Amino acid sequence: MIVEYILFIIFAVVAIVSAGCVVTLRNPVHCAVALIITLLQIAALFLLLRSPFLAVVQVFIYVGAVMVLFLFAVFLIDVKKAAMDMFKPKYRALAYIVALILLVESLFVIFSGGIQELTRITEAGAEVKVEVIGRTLFTSYIFPFEIVSVVLLAAMVGAIVMARDKKE
């Protein structure tokens, strides 16, 4: 399907450009908005991969909850001052070299390895039903699920303890 290719290229290009904006823009608020755009593109890619449940989870949790937290944290700082200090000048060249080497390496591995031969056996377009995901999550994966819920509780308590005033 040619439409899928076009959609993939649009989503991928917008995701990469806005991810670049997250790293390069000076103002933290602009960085947050660029990150929101990237996360929405990734949700759209999940839809292309026939995972509508994960796309919805991505939009709800990342764009809805996490990014709002980020924007609240940005309000606490002096944006004008934060926009002044840009990249760390000393190690900048080193960081560029490390990133470039990693990029070349990983692209080489991806395009030379055996990943290309992987294609779906059954017809494309079949999506995993939410019911199946829920059933598996609560039967085979009940132990990791419980662990994750304890971690979530610990994080919640931890965040409250960290941000509380020590005076009372």
Partner 1 sequence: MIPLTWFVALSAILFIIGISGVLLRRNLIVMLMSLELILNSVNINFVAFSYYLEDMTGQLFAIFTITIAACEVAVALGILIALVKNRRTFNADDLDTLKG
- How many residues sit close enough to partner 1 to count as binding (CB under 8 A)? 82
Beta-carbon neighbour count of residue 126 at 10 Å?
9
Per CB under 8 A, 76 contacts partner 1: yes
We find the least distance from the C-beta atom of residue 130 to partner 1, in angstroms, to be 10
We find the least distance from the C-beta atom of residue 57 to partner 1, in angstroms, to be 6
Per CB under 8 A, 37 contacts partner 1: no
Per CB under 8 A, 6 contacts partner 1: no
Between residue 129 and residue 168, which ones bind partner 1 under the rule CB under 8 A?
Answer: 132-133, 136-137, 141, 144, 148, 151-152, 154-156, 158-163
Per CB under 8 A, 45 contacts partner 1: yes
Helical (H) or strand (E) element with 5: helix 2-24
Residue with tokens 């649009």: 10
Beta-carbon neighbour count of residue 151 at 10 Å?
10
We find the least distance from the C-beta atom of residue 32 to partner 1, in angstroms, to be 7
Report whether 53 contacts 37 (CB < 8 A).
no
Residue 125 falls in which region: left (phi positive, over 0), alpha (psi -120 to 50) or beta: left
We find the least distance from the C-beta atom of residue 168 to partner 1, in angstroms, to be 14
